[in-house]
Structure 1
Amino acid sequence: MKLSVGTVLSLIAATASMVNAHATLQYINDNSDVVRAPPSNNPVMDVTSSDMACNVNGGTPKSSVLTVAAGSSVTLEWHHGGRDTQAIDPSHKGPVITYLAKVPDATTATNPASLKWFKIYQDGLSGETWGVDKLVANNGKYTHTIPSSIPSGDYLIRSEIIALHAAGTYPGAQFYMGCGQLRVTGGGNANPPTVSLPGAYKGTDAGIQISIYYPKVTNYIVPGPAVFSG
């Protein structure tokens, strides 16, 4: 089939728009100094890659930590460009997830792929609304609680978006993740079950290799472990 010049140009523009609509974690409680920003907003697509932990630059510590009380709320904020841009292209539908990993000192912790992570939040599919839909509607922000029972000390927090618009085959799902540095105070003595990243996901997981449009998904299983409620 021969395409017209106008159609070709439209496809090029659409592709450029999709690339520009990739996303990065940029703020935690309005603080950007504690976020280990990746060098670009491109996704990771190989679930076995060490970049699955905290993205390409996630092993580079920052000098600051954000102090939060156990049981308090944190707000994580995503954008595809600067803060005045949308969170991520609305077509990139999928879940929004948060993990924590305990570390001796968040300002010196390297090699996040070697850490043990536990999931503290997930927002998958509710009716016809995805976690990403809510993120976009809320200007890139989502808020949840730090479990009140986890031990005090330093943590890396890992925020993740899994975009499923092209996930009918593997690799196809796009994984966007960013990590930040927290110091939790007033905690307890819980010992949450942990997983490794990479390791917690398989390319064949029902929530990773999935066609969300044909047939339209009505029941979605968020990949990874269960949420630790604390």
Structure 2
Amino acid sequence: MKLSLLVSAAIVPLVSAHYFFDTLIIDGVETTPNQYVRSNTRPAKYNPTKWKNTRDDMTPDMLDFRCNKGSFTFAPQTETAEVQAGSKLAMKLGVGATMQHPGPGLVYMSKAPEGSAANQYEGDGDWFKIHEEGICDTEKDIKTDAWCTWDKDRIEFTVPADLPDGEYLIRSEHIGVHGAHDGQAEFYYACAQVKITGGGTGFPSTDATIQFPGGYKQDDPSFNFSVWGGMKEYPMPGPPVWTGGTESGSGSGSAFNGTSADSSSTGETQEEEKHTCSRRRRRRARHVRQ
């Protein structure tokens, strides 16, 4: 009983840190909020989607879980960004917010049917994951800054260079797991509309795709995870990350490291630092698993 009260008290500072994605960044250039990212019709746009203690009558089992409540009504007025395959993108939070919940960041894509544009697509097809990031530093606090996304205002990722040309939805998502031990994982997500050019001929196999809704289940370990018992491995939701080709990507399966479609080094200092950090994270992951 005392432990439950202590956990509840610890959650209080976290519950007010809600946010929403509204800006697409293309190769470092920040676009206008909601220029390419669909808005939503929630009374408070920052409200999360949950299975328990729901907000705005939204759960992950509803059709609007694809891009957020009422987002398809904004599709016609949302522009479609032309993006070169292999480009570095980011989805940024609105109104200066940062991710103040522990939890993973993920990015999915879904191709509009042939003959249909992104602004006509509801997202009822297959989705494949191109990026995920979980726990970056096992020596830090799993309730806060151990997570790669902690206190960041964006999720950065790379569009697979092998992705075929066409119009797509990009779905960025952050999952707050501070209440997941009580079945109250919180989903923050939005969709951008893009047209991919200069791509290849690869595409993920069917075992590397999911659909929204349906791809996430209420009893999945990812959404019933506790950050309140010390450092532990986080089971990533969804399929493995697809990085190119016609087979599914390797995926991390767990979240002691970040994974994305960007695996090449450019020789720049920033990229070298990323690879150094990645090696360090893998060593820490092996140490924890042992």
TM-score normalised by the shorter chain: which range applies?
0.7 to 0.9
Say which of 94, 97, 112 aligns to 1:86: 97
Judging changes above 3 Å, is the alpha-carbon distance between structure 1 residues 220 and 63 closer, same or farther for their aligned structure 2 residues?
closer
- Tell me which residue corresponds to 1:181: 193
- What is aligned with 2:243? 229
Structure 2: distance between partners of 1:63 and 1:37: 8
1:207 is the counterpart of 2:222: yes
For residue 4 of structure 1, what is the aligned residue in structure 2?
Answer: none
Deviation at 1:75, TM superposition (A): 1.6
| Counterpart pick for 1:36 among 35, 38, 57 | 38
Report the Cα offset of residue 132 of structure 1: 2.5
1:130 equivalent among 130, 143, 147: 147
Deviating beyond 2 angstroms after TM superposition, the runs of 4 or more aligned structure 1 residues are none
Higher relative contact order (CA 8 A, sep 6+): 1
**Matches of 1:186 and 1:58 in 2, distance apart?**
28
Choose between structure 1 and 2: higher helix proportion: 2
**For 2:98 and 2:70, how far apart are their aligned partners in 1?**
20
How is 1:1-230 mapped onto 2 (pairs within 5 angstroms)?
18-19=15-16, 21-29=17-25, 30-31=30-31, 32=33, 33-39=35-41, 40-45=45-50, 46-60=59-73, 61=75, 62-79=77-94, 82=95, 85-88=96-99, 90=100, 92-103=101-112, 104-109=116-121, 111-112=122-123, 114-126=124-136, 127=138, 128=140, 129-133=146-150, 136=151, 138=152, 140-170=153-183, 172-193=184-205, 194-213=209-228, 215-230=229-244
Alpha carbons 1:70, 1:148 under 8 Å: kept: yes
Report the Cα offset of residue 201 of structure 1.
1.0
Aligned residue identity for 2:237: P
Write the deviation string for residues 80-125 of structure 1: whole angstroms up to 9, x where unpaired: xx2xx3223x2x110000000001301222x32x121000000011
Identity fraction in percent: 31
Equivalent position amino acid for 1:18 in 2:
V
SS of 1:94 mapped into structure 2: coil
- 1:36-86: CA deviation from partner (whole Å, max 9, x where unpaired): 01231111113312222111022230341111111111021013xx2xx32
Report the alpha carbon displacement of residue 152 of structure 1 after superposing the two structures with TM.
Answer: 0.4
SS of the equivalent of 2:174 reads strand
Structure 1 unaligned residues grouped into runs of 5+: 1-10
Q: Match of 1:130, SS? A: coil
Partner residue, 2:250? none
> Could you say what secondary structure the match of 2:118 adopts?
coil
**What TM-score, normalized to structure 1?**
0.82
SS, match of residue 15 in structure 2 = helix
Aligned partner of residue 207 in structure 1, secondary structure: helix
Counterpart amino acid of residue 229 in structure 1: T
3-state SS of paired residue (1:119): strand
Confirm or deny: 8 A CA contact 2:80 2:119 kept in the other structure: yes
Query: How far is 1:182 from its partner?
Result: 0.5
Say whether the 8 Å CA contact 1:211–1:217 is kept in structure 2: no
CA distance in 2, matches of 1:95, 1:181: 23
- For these two proteins, the number of residue pairs brought into alignment is 202
Q: Over aligned residues, Cα RMSD in angstroms?
A: 1.8
Query: Contact 2:37–2:78 at 8 Å: present in 1 too?
Result: no
Q: TM-score, normalised by structure 2?
A: 0.66
| Partners of 1:124 and 1:221 within 8 A in 2 | no
Give the whole-Å Cα distance in 1 for the aligned partners of 2:65 and 2:72: 11
